[in-house]
């Protein structure tokens, strides 16, 4: 592990669960790379791995929903982090509904916002989605789930050294 990797391993950035849909196809995954990137206009950047099934659906979608789980929602994070939509329907294991803009929203006392995709950016092994928030709901009061709580969760797709 090099010095950069050591530094990154000690940070505790927020985790989120991204959900999306196109026509009748739903997808969702646990994401560690996301951040607000502009105040005026309000923009948020979320990055989805090129290996992730969710990216294939997100490429066709107009909106993404970002859910910010609390520390006590680790099982929900595991569902969306350890499993892949290639193999199972994650949404059959958690309550959800179709919200504004046809967005897939997890129904589990969780903060969320829907973002309209305004740009997609190739960022190496991830694709960045620049979002304009269009709807949001704040329901949780507890501390948010961070990287340090989930770093031992095995990824649904193994991390590869090289990407096509």
Instruction: Let me know if residue 117 belongs to a domain.
Output: yes
Instruction: Let me know if residue 97 belongs to a domain.
Output: yes
Instruction: Let me know if residue 18 belongs to a domain.
Output: yes
Instruction: Let me know if residue 6 belongs to a domain.
Output: no
Residue 44's CATH number: 2.30.110.10
Instruction: Let me know if residue 21 belongs to a domain.
Output: yes
Residue 144: C-alpha distances to residues 54, 71, 111 (Å): 22, 5, 10
What's 155's DSSP letter?
A: P
> How many folded domains does the chain comprise?
1
pLDDT digits (tens, 9 = 90+) for 111-135: 999 999 999 999 999 999 999 999 9
Instruction: Let me know if residue 5 belongs to a domain.
Output: no
Write down the pTM of the prediction: 0.89
Asked if pLDDT for residue 164 goes beyond 80, the answer is: no
pLDDT digits (tens, 9 = 90+) for 11-47: 888 999 999 999 989 999 999 999 999 999 999 999 9
Exposed/middle/buried for residue 43 (C-beta within 10 Å: 0-12, 13-18, 19+): middle
The span from the CA of 23 to the CA of 105, in Å, is 15
Boundaries of domain holding 120 = 14-150
The H helix count followed by the E strand count for the chain is 4, 9
Residue 18 contacts residue 64 (beta carbons within 8 Å): yes
Instruction: Let me know if residue 118 belongs to a domain.
Output: yes
Instruction: Let me know if residue 112 belongs to a domain.
Output: yes
DSSP bridge pairs for 133 = 115
Tell which phi-psi region holds residue 101, choosing left (phi > 0), alpha (psi between -120 and 50) or beta.
left
pLDDT digits (tens, 9 = 90+) for 70-113: 999 999 999 999 988 888 899 999 999 999 999 999 998 899 99
């Amino acid at each position: 592990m090099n010095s950069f990797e050591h530094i990154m391993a000690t940070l505790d950035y927020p985790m989120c669960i991204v959900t999306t849909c196109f026509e009748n196809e739903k997808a969702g995954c646990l994401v560690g790379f996301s951040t607000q990137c502009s105040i005026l206009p309000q923009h948020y950047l979320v990055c989805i791995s090129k290996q992730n099934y969710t990216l294939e659906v997100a490429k066709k979608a107009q909106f993404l929903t970002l859910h910010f789980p609390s520390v006590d929602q680790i099982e929900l994070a595991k569902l969306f982090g350890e499993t892949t939509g290639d193999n199972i329907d994650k949404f059959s294991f958690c309550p959800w509904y179709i919200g504004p803009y046809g967005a897939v929203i997890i129904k589990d006392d969780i903060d969320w916002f829907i973002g309209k995709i305004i740009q997609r950016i190739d960022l190496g092994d991830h694709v960045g989605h620049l979002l304009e928030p269009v709807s949001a709901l704040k329901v949780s009061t507890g501390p948010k789930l961070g990287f340090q709580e989930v770093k031992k969760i095995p990824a649904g797709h193994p991390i590869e050294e090289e990407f096509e």
